[in-house]
Homo-oligomer: A and B are copies of this chain.
Amino acid sequence: MLRVAVAGASGYIGGELLRLLLGHPEVEVAAATSTRYAGRRVDTAHPNLRGTTDLTFIAPGDLGAYDVLFLATPHRETMDRMGEFLAMAPHVIDLTGDFRLRDQDTYAAYYGVRHSAPELLGTFTTGLPELYREDLREADRVSVPGCMATAAILALYPLADAGLLEGEVTVDARTGSSGSGISAGAANLHAERSGAMRVFAPTRHRHEAEITQATGVPVRMNATGVEAVRGVQILARVRLAGDTGERTVRAAYRERYGHEPFVRVVAQRRGLYRLPEPKILSGSNFCDVGFAVAEDAPQALVVGALDNLVKGGAGNAVQSMNIRYGWPEQTGLGFTGLHPN
């Protein structure tokens, strides 16, 4: 059994890591840190884990040495402490935003601050198995991409990679409230957030840079908070190269994802769930991707959906770990999602 630890384990991403790792047959959760909950039971913060674990949070300063260290610590603080974290475990999987972009100028442009450990930026492999599986087999440092970025990258990649896209892509992202985290403030009060359609990033959402970095496609992205706790959906409008039709598009998706365990191509002509819908993905590690090609113009609407805390975070991290150790990729990630939900 590998000994793993989660730093920043009392937040939503940390809790999801614990849920997945506690159910993973190949690892033992040796430690979970929380500044606020140190000394208290893990199920105080994560009531879904009652009966599953007797683990107690430790203070961040009490971390020791582990085989794998997962980081769900606050943004910015993580880059400051990365040297420290790297000394604790040979294998570090970072779920924060700090090491997602490889270029420090792009980081500064999107995050508004200078990166405090720019020399490490290029040393992380992106924790997105569908694009970087081979690299992940030997990667000791992994940076898991953002939740909306993951949905957009997986939805766009087959077309981008096949050279079927032209010009700038616009991405419209919708997200549930758990993406704001457990320390969200008054803006996420139920009375204000319930039933909302809150355009919180009308231009220049940070995930733009990640999508472009992974797909090579120039992107414009906006984001809206809608009524959901979990779930991200992205809609991307793309221009198709030449006379690309639906058949070519479908073939590109099938070819790319036909053997992927966690990407499903959903583009049906009828039914209630004919395009990707996050509602049925809660708790699962699936990213559903789909498309609709315009009949009268070389354009398509591309759709991606996932659970932001699983395939958009903790699930990608665990899948990356599974790859690194040669375990079946689905290990610990077998939950299918619920319908209805």
Contacts and interface: CB of A to CB of B under 8 A. Distances in A.
A305 interface: yes
A19 B336 contact: yes
A272 B191 contact: no
A204 B296 CA distance: 9
A297 B182 CA distance: 35
A227 B186 contact: no
Nearest to A15: B339
A38 B174 CA distance: 34
A266 interface: yes
A220 B237 contact: yes
Interface stretch (A49-57, A87-95, A113-121, A128-136): A49-57
A228 B225 CA distance: 13
A271 B222 CA distance: 17
Interface residues of A, number: 87
- Copy number in the complex reads 4
B229 A190 contact: yes
Interface stretch (A60-68, A72-80, A209-217, A277-285): A277-285
A229 B295 contact: no
A42 to B, nearest CB: 11
Contacts of A272: 47, 186-187, 192, 198
22 contacts: A47-B339, A48-B336, A48-B337, A50-B288, A52-B336, A170-B170, A176-B191, A184-B190, A192-B340, A195-B227, A195-B228, A195-B279, A197-B228, A197-B231, A197-B278, A199-B277, A199-B292, A202-B292, A203-B301, A222-B235, A230-B338, A230-B340
Given A220-B299, A271-B44, A282 B341 contact: yes
A178 interface: yes
Given A19-B336, A19-B338, A230-B338, A193 B195 contact: no
